[in-house]
Structure 1
Amino acid sequence: MRVLADLREGDHRLTRWVASWQSTCVRRALPAVEETAEHTKLWWGAAVALSTAGWRGRRAAAAGVASMAVAELASNCVLKQVWNRRRPPKEWISHEEVHHRPDSSSFPSGHTAAGVAFSAAVAGVWPWAGAVCAVPAVMVATERVHTGAHYPSDVAVGTVVGLAAAALVHRAPRLTARMLL
């Protein structure tokens, strides 16, 4: 299984590289964004803000929240239960944030799935707002690797889960209409 060995090696190298970032901006901005994203607070706050921007904002917020819920369900209630993956070894992380990691399965990144799902769904309704939401979503995904909470492959699969959730929510009304007709 050379592919799995290559994936493990890539995870190892990329995790060590991202964890080694010493920039003051990185050390302050990433944890701050992740803290606001904890328990999806950031995305709920964005939904409230979008809801004040007229019908398009309300539609974007509803799509974002629905997609986030689907992504959270898929990542945290299904995939994490099926694949119980340990967090990256502490030795790979070159700073003190490594001690503040969850005990749950590493695979996939639920934070990433939620942020990507919300941002992608918002972008489907209101592209400019979705692009704005994508910035903190990328920062959260990066922070998850930087602190050793996730392997890069966990974040990649979380991204796929988030995109799939947004696509499903986007197509759900048409699929439901087809089934009813």
Structure 2
Amino acid sequence: MRVWADLRDGDRRLTRRVASWRSAGARRALPAVEEAAQHTKLWCGAAFLMATAGGWRGRRAAAAGVVSMAVAEAVSNGLVKHLWERRRPPQEWVSHEQVQDRPDSSSFPSGHTAAAVGFTAAVAGVWPLAGALCAVPAVMVAGERVYTGAHYPSDVAAGALIGLSAAALTHRAPRLAARAALT
């Protein structure tokens, strides 16, 4: 049980530290990034841009990103959140006004992070440059979830793992299906 106690203590310390950022840039940029990421608008917009301006590689990257994002969201929001109920970080840990905009659902895992990482990792597997560009807002989304007190850092880490797993599955599924068709 010492591991769980250490995890809770690390979550508490890191949440308070991130939520206390005094950067004017963070106070302006992070809420805008969260708004753009709400309901996957940011990732759908990125997929549209890649598909229309990126040629065949852009279309493949966009398709992989959208499929991976959908899988990550289904697993994080449709499955894990219902299996593991966790309260959001206490409001007193967050010393700014964004703490009022927190969802009512389970804190674990971060669905925003799962979608962001799932989309970005799948895109990077097809088009590394586009994936690198998507990584910037994906990291900002993950940071914003802790900054606003919507999630603990471990919720964000779990969301990132779900996103990475969804991207890996997205890239392996066609090969597995082709192998199964040959046997």
Q: Same fold (TM over 0.5)?
A: yes
Q: Does 1:2 align with 2:21?
A: no
Aligned counterpart, 1:21: 21
Q: Which amino acid aligns with 1:40?
A: T
Q: Which amino acid aligns with 1:84?
A: E
Q: How do 1:36-55 and structure 2 match up within 5 A?
A: 36-52=36-52, 53-55=54-56
- RMSD over aligned CA atoms reads 0.5
Amino-acid identity (%): 74
Q: Does 1:95 align with 2:89?
A: no
Q: Does 1:154 align with 2:146?
A: no
Q: Does 1:130 align with 2:126?
A: no
1:179 shift after superposition: 2.0
Cα distance in structure 1, aligned partners of 2:155 and 2:87: 11
Cα distance in structure 1, aligned partners of 2:73 and 2:104: 17
Q: How do 1:60-99 and structure 2 match up within 5 A?
A: 60-99=61-100
Q: Which amino acid aligns with 2:34?
A: E
Structure 1 alignment gaps of length 5 or more: none
Instruction: Give 3-state SS (helix, strand or coil) of 1:85's partner.
Output: coil
1:26 shift after superposition: 0.4
Q: Which amino acid aligns with 1:100?
A: D
With structure 2 as the length reference, what TM-score do the two structures score? 0.98
Aligned counterpart, 2:180: 179
1:94 shift after superposition: 1.2
Cα distance in structure 2, aligned partners of 1:99 and 1:6: 28
Aligned counterpart, 2:171: 170
Q: Which amino acid aligns with 1:20?
A: S
1:121-143 C-alpha deviation (Å, 9 max, x unpaired): 00000000000001000000000
Q: Which amino acid aligns with 2:150?
A: A
1:113-166 C-alpha deviation (Å, 9 max, x unpaired): 000000000000000000000100000000000000000000000000000000
Q: Which amino acid aligns with 1:4?
A: W
Cα distance in structure 1, aligned partners of 2:178 and 2:56: 22
Cα distance in structure 1, aligned partners of 2:98 and 2:56: 41
Q: Does 1:115 align with 2:123?
A: no
With structure 1 as the length reference, what TM-score do the two structures score? 0.99
